[in-house]
Chains A and B, each alone.
Chain A
Amino acid sequence: MEMKPLTRAVLGLICLLVGIWLVAPTIVVAPMSFNGVKSLAFPPRGFSWQWYENFVTSPDWSSSFFNSLKIACLVAILATVLGTLAAFGLDRMRARPANLIRMLLLTPMVVPGVVLAIGIYAVYLDARLVGTLTGFVLAHTILALPFVLIAVSANLEVFDKRLETAAASLGAGALTTFRTVTLPLIAPGMLSGLLFAFATSFDEIIVSLFITNPYLRTLPVQIFASITRDADPTVAAVGTILLCVTTVLIGGGMLLLGRERRGRS
């Protein structure tokens, strides 16, 4: 049915408002990062690159950035390996127990972050993992693993297992089959899981706030600490960088998943 012009206009307006509402916080950050004065007031006054300079030159900021990078890389690898193995195991199990275990593995996505953080903190105090690289990697992997599991499982669902039978008939053993047939065909799922895992760790704040200490800070923790201390527009500069990085990663991950789905339909 054809829409009336008035209906169309009202609908368009509502969509626009909701759209602005959703992206407004993001839009505010970028201009603030170019503020000419040391203030977080909006709209910013003047223009300068100084907060980006400060981010690059200040040891507090750069060390936290490299901490985050290091942790996120390790988490991405660990979560991808474990998540892929889990996805494989669940794919080849009987449906009932598999669904149960799948739900269990996905709980970190549902459980409130604060609850997880308290639990992890309590354990880490005893285990002396607070403020350690190992501690961060282990904690973030818990949160990142579900993303890999979902991405690889989606890929395995459309993977034709009969191709493995065919490979066997042509002379390929189990390992060769995995390397030459299975792995190339589920690689898009693994890569998209890897990107999601990296992004999850890179911008994680709740658990990180609990298990951080002055010797090991991640970038989000540094932002939070900085903004509670003073109104330093460097946080806006860092925020803008984070925004760009995660947009590229998540966008890439979604693209990979989407292409995989379309390719098989």
Chain B
Amino acid sequence: MTTKASNRGAAIEIRSITKTYGDFRALDDVSLHVEPGEFMTLLGPSGSGKTTTLNVVAGFTDLTSGTLLVGGKNVVGVPAHKRNIGVVFQHYALFPHMTVGRNVAYPLTLRGVGKAEREARVLRALDMVKMRDFAHRYPSELSGGQQQRVALARAIVFDPPVLLMDEPLGALDKKLREWLQLEIKRIHRELGTTFIYVTHDQEEALVLSDRIAVFNRGRIEQVGTGRELYDEPSTLFVGRFIGDSTVLRGGARSDGTGTALKIADETVTTPRRLSGDVTPVMLLRPEKLSIRRPGQPAAGQNRLSGRIAEAIYLGSGSKYEVALGDGSLAIVRSSLTDESFKIGEQVDLWFDGADAKLLADDASAETTLT
């Protein structure tokens, strides 16, 4: 099965698709290219259009306009059952009146695969998800995690060139979810199938994906690897959605040397500048901020004073929420070797201007997140 893994997946080309329900634009001119065999995650808050995109690719939802190519062929108007695309649902969707074995055999029976080959392929698929011993059980006798593994076997048993997964781990608890994430990653590697994975959990997206498409209000904000999205977010929404971040807002001034923001009575600067008529804000990752007691030597070009509002012990270190002079919260991480701080304590935060991302302010970035 693994020998010709590299040429098994199909490319997916989504070209400016739009889907409207009355006045509501569920998808607004979305374009996305997925490489053959790539693990692409559609990430975003609920109602952002990621599931609608998945349903459009699966053929469950019709397009209002746009083009969709799977493996180079236009599939607009092709009904779901003729697309040969595997789908794994959040709610498992196993047929309750069939055993695990018959569930997995179902797509093969429909394709007229002979009995001997069918049985061999069912066992191979169940092997892949480590459920071989359960072939004679009914879905109601299995746990949620086991049911989802059977559903995965059923979706890959007919060797589809594309596998779609719609929040498949959403109903499972954290430990099981983390273990199954690794299983899904392994199966993707072994199959070489193109995976499109929908989730609202950014950590899950970072663990699994080759690339991530971040959705917001029916549009794609940015597509990139996890590292690109974390280090170089192109919009404030992406910066806020991926990982922890501190956003600094305040009377901005730009000149030839860079941009300065005024936070309460302190001024912070960065050599970066934004073009166009936008309000710049600074986005800082927790590890770019250093936390020090007042009076200790400087640890960067910019200093902001604040008060510890929350101290969270994480085992490998601590996370602090620091209330700044203007009332906004900064998020800082410190390792165990650093000294620890108590709630209410006065502290200084230090950072280099070059480590701050300068982005256009977008009030909706905050409202969509909460």
Residues on A lying within 8 angstroms of B by beta carbon are: 160, 162-163, 165-173, 176-177, 180-181, 184-185
Contact = CB atoms under 8 A, between A and B. Distances in A.
B87 interface: yes
A165 B60 contact: yes
A169 B95 contact: no
A190 to B, nearest CB: 14
A172 B93 contact: no
Given A167-B81, A168-B80, A180-B106, 10 more contacts: A160-B91, A165-B89, A167-B106, A168-B60, A169-B60, A169-B80, A170-B106, A170-B158, A172-B110, A173-B81
Interface in B78-115: 79-82, 84-87, 89, 91, 93, 95-97, 106-107, 110-111
10 contacts: A163-B93, A165-B93, A166-B87, A166-B95, A168-B59, A168-B81, A169-B81, A169-B155, A170-B158, A185-B96
Interface residues of B, number: 24
A162 B58 CA distance: 14
Contacts of B59: 168
Contacts of A173: 79, 81
A167 to B, nearest CB: 8
B50 interface: no
A184 B80 CA distance: 22
A185 B96 CA distance: 8
B97 A172 contact: no
A165 to B, nearest CB: 6
A181 B154 CA distance: 15
Contacts of A170: 81, 106-107, 110, 154-155, 158
Contact of A162 (B81, B91, B155): B91
A21 to B, nearest CB: 43
Contact of B79 (A168, A181, A185): A168
B47 to A, nearest CB: 19
Given A163-B93, A166-B93, A181-B95, A171 B158 contact: yes
Contact of B110 (A165, A166, A171, A184): A171
A125 to B, nearest CB: 49
Contacts of A181: 95
A180 to B, nearest CB: 8
Nearest to A171: B110
B171 to A, nearest CB: 13
Contacts of A184: 97
A173 B110 CA distance: 10
Among A160, A167, A170, A185, residue most surrounded by chain B Cβ atoms (within 10 Å): A170
Closest 4 CB pairs of A and B: A166-B93, A169-B87, A170-B107, A168-B80
B96 A169 contact: no
A165 B86 CA distance: 12
Among B59, B80, B85, residue most surrounded by chain A Cβ atoms (within 10 Å): B80
Among B82, B84, B93, B111, residue most surrounded by chain A Cβ atoms (within 10 Å): B93
Contacts of B84: 171
Nearest to A185: B97
A162 B86 CA distance: 15
A194 B278 CA distance: 70
Contacts of B110: 170-172, 176
Contact of B81 (A163, A171, A180): A171
Contacts of B60: 165, 168-169
Given A162-B89, A162-B91, A185-B97, A169 B58 contact: yes
Nearest to A264: B96
